[in-house]
Chain A
Amino acid sequence: MSAPFFERVRGIAADILEVRPNQITPQSSSENIETWDSVHHLNLILAFEQEFGVQLEPEEIDEMNNVERIISILEQKLNHHG
């Protein structure tokens, strides 16, 4: 995981989840961020799709339940497209 990529993901996640950026770590998940509910999860997905120009598959969406996994899936998709 590259630092600039993590920072982009962190900025988006903090904005959508309405928390400070330093509260977002690779271990952040729906279980330890109070505002991360199903509607915010959807907003996260849509924001990542827009920011990175990718279309996430339904199967990927429910795997993206922590920041580390989000980054892994996004990187995979970007490498695949790139």
Chain B
Amino acid sequence: MAIAIQPYSADLIPAVKGFNQRLVAGGVAPEFHFPENNIPHWLPKLEGRRIHQEYYLAVDGDCVRGGFILKYQDFFFHGKPQPVVYYHLPISEGIVNKAYAGVGVHMLRSALKLQPMLFALGMGGFDRPLPQMLKVMGWSLCAVPFYFRVNHPAKFLREVAPLRETKSRRLLAALAAVTGVGSAGIKLINSLRTGSPEHGLFVEQVGGFTERDDDLWEQSREHYKLIADRACATLNALYPRSKNFLCIKVSHASRFIGWAVLLDTQMRDNKYFGNMRLGSIVDCLALPENALAVMQAATQFLEQRGVDLIISNQSHHAWGGALKSSGFLETRSNFIFGASKPLAELLSPFQNNQNQVFLNRGDGDGPVNL
């Protein structure tokens, strides 16, 4: 029987459970199992709200052989509305049973038929199966730069994964932490790389976003080649008060110039961050010329809370530059942006313009694992 792509309806929940059981038997990690509820837990479709997710399944008779999610959020190209849809969690039985090797391609082509302007984000690195498949299908790919700033060098040297990978690195890191040599080096790097702080900044922690904040969104969006909707209704859906998000608003000379959404998370045996207290600059917005002020304010806010390390992914050059001027270092990124052929044509030339697109951890599937 031919496999058909169809929306996920409640009657297919048992078939999805069966699909997940076959993935478990094949050793697939739980984060790659398909949701066992047809109503999305995150961003369900609600009356009057534009941002939402839709689930699709690859159905083969009574069985489910794969699924994917489309996230709908308004995008703006040079300030003008532009439909762009996020393709995520494509998972196919092909990863545990090669008889279904074609399901992944089938799902991707079906998604492109539904929405030609597709993008993918994250994906764990260029060498993973999904980016490889996207590349073969002519998608344009680039890494969204990753930035970090060390606040507590001794803890960083003890906990960060690349320094714990081999016995000799572990020993060197332990020595550097104990003797203070590593701490002194990192503090020196921070002081050399941190520019003068902006004067007259005022930072206020807020519980959420209001319609008064939308003026900034309307002024800012035309300054970015491509940016996802960041009006207050969308922000409050993405960063609900019930979660641990820290929202700050930044003013300069009594004028509201930008905001940032942050996280302060105590990690526990995390594969990348060990047991560090991790500060994340998840999302932000300002005119490009005010990016530095917002990044400095966010950095200071997280430092004062006592985080060991601050991280951020930012695609736009103004925000990357602002992070570097705030003492951040850039390192290899596994956070990959993939644009379908029509989307890459819109952004053409993609390689030259990728750093004018505004993307960060607030995009895609949000700040997962942070």
Contact = CB atoms under 8 A, between A and B. Distances in A.
Interface of A: 29-31, 36-43, 45-46, 58-59, 61-65
B78 to A, nearest CB: 32
A63 B102 contact: yes
Interface residues of B, number: 27
Contacts of B5: 58
A61 B66 CA distance: 14
A38 B18 CA distance: 21
Given A37-B98, A39-B136, A43-B136, A59 B129 contact: no
Nearest to A32: B98
Contact of A38 (B2, B58, B105, B110): B105
Nearest to A41: B101
B3 A30 contact: no
Interface in B88-127: 92, 94-95, 98-107, 109-110, 113
Most chain-A Cβ atoms within 10 A of its Cβ — which of B98, B102, B107, B137?
A: B102
Most chain-B Cβ atoms within 10 A of its Cβ — which of A39, A45, A58, A63?
A: A58
B129 A62 contact: no
The 7 tightest CB contacts between A and B, nearest first, are A62-B102, A30-B98, A58-B109, A41-B101, A30-B101, A38-B104, A62-B106
Contacts of A31: 98-99
Most chain-B Cβ atoms within 10 A of its Cβ — which of A36, A40, A41, A63?
A: A41
A61 B109 contact: yes
Nearest to B104: A38
Contacts of A36: 98, 101
B132 interface: yes
Contacts of B102: 30, 38, 41, 45, 61-65
A61 B103 CA distance: 8
17 contacts: A37-B98, A37-B101, A38-B95, A39-B133, A42-B105, A42-B136, A42-B137, A46-B136, A58-B106, A58-B113, A59-B3, A61-B102, A62-B58, A62-B65, A62-B102, A65-B99, A65-B102
A42 B107 CA distance: 12
B98 A61 contact: no
B235 interface: no
